[in-house]
Amino acid sequence: MKIIESLLYTKNHEWVRVEGEEAYIGVTDYAQHAMGDIVYVEMPEVDDELDAEDGLGVVESVKAASDIYSPISGTIIEINEELEDSPEIINNDPFDAFIVKITISNKSELDELLNAEEYKAYISEIEE
């Protein structure tokens, strides 16, 4: 299982890559393994405003549908349109296949997210 040191994570298995005042959000390697083959991704619209923990979309796999939650508050400035035709790219590299890019509206919320070490420890706990 791949965990990238420079990213932030949630207990819902989303990752966040911060670039200045913007952030990319996607699902983790752990999540895509647990879901199996991904067949569809439902995404929000550009300009949608999200609060932390708002639903931001749904990832459907051959096993089940899983809600995706926004780890932080912000306004969506880009969706990964490639996922509309090729949702399986999340299985290939979940860290390259972001779901949305947002403008961060409350940077202090980043402090509530897990760093790579904390996320590894969390995964270990839930796998026991």
Q: Confirm whether 76 is domain-assigned.
A: yes
pTM: 0.95
Q: Check residue 48 and give its pLDDT.
A: 97
What is the pLDDT, as a whole number, of residue 13? 97
Residue 87 lies in a domain: yes
Provide the pLDDT for residue 55.
94
Give pLDDT tens digits for 39-87.
999 999 999 999 999 999 999 999 899 999 999 999 999 999 999 999 9
Residue 128 has pLDDT above 80, yes or no: no
**pLDDT, tens digit, 9 for 90 and up, residues 8-26:** 999 999 999 999 999 999 9
List beta partners, residue 22.
Answer: 19, 103
CA distance readout (Å), 20 to 14, 24, 46, 77: 19, 11, 19, 14
Q: What is the total count of domains within the chain?
A: 1
**Domain region containing 17:** 8-108
Residue 9 makes CB contacts below 8 A (sequence gap 6+) with: 3, 15, 16, 28, 113, 114, 115, 116, 118, 119, 122
pLDDT, residue 69, reads 96
Please provide the size of the chain in residues.
Answer: 128
Q: How far apart are CA 19 and CA 9, in angstroms?
A: 15
Domain membership flag for residue 118: no
Is residue 117 included in any domain, yes or no? Answer: no
Q: Is residue 3 part of a domain?
A: no
Rounded Cα distance between 114 and 117, Å, is 8
Whether 25 maps to a domain, the answer reads yes
- For residue 122, being part of any structural domain is answered with no
- The answer to whether position 79 is within a domain reads yes
Q: Which two tokens stand for residue 46?
A: 């550009």
CATH number at residue 73: 2.40.50.100
